[in-house]
Amino acid sequence: MHAEIQLPSPFVPVRQYRFLRFCKQHAEGVWVVVDASIDFGRNGPNGNPYMSSKKLPSGCILQDMSNGFCK
């Protein structure tokens, strides 16, 4: 996946991220979603250091509820 993040400051450049998203059903009604950055090394694929930004690994656990929503 590809994401672009811009902070509300003119002093911080727009950061671009490439990451993998993995989704797996852990149990009946329980799903796990995890994001992990793809490492391009010191610079991005075109030599631009701002394309090599990395996010910390993140994720969440989703559990179905009886009302059709999840928590």
Return the number of other C-beta atoms located less than 10 Å from residue 43's C-beta: 12
pTM for the full model? 0.66
Q: Report, as an integer, the average pLDDT of 4-19.
A: 86
Measured in whole angstroms, how far is the alpha carbon of residue 28 from the centre of its chain?
25
Q: Are the CB atoms for 4 and 12 separated by under 8 Å?
A: no
Rounded (5°) CA angle 48-52-54: 160
Ranges of each domain in the chain: 2-63
Confidence grade of residue 52 (pLDDT, cut at 50, 70, 90): low
Q: What is the pLDDT of residue 30?
A: 96
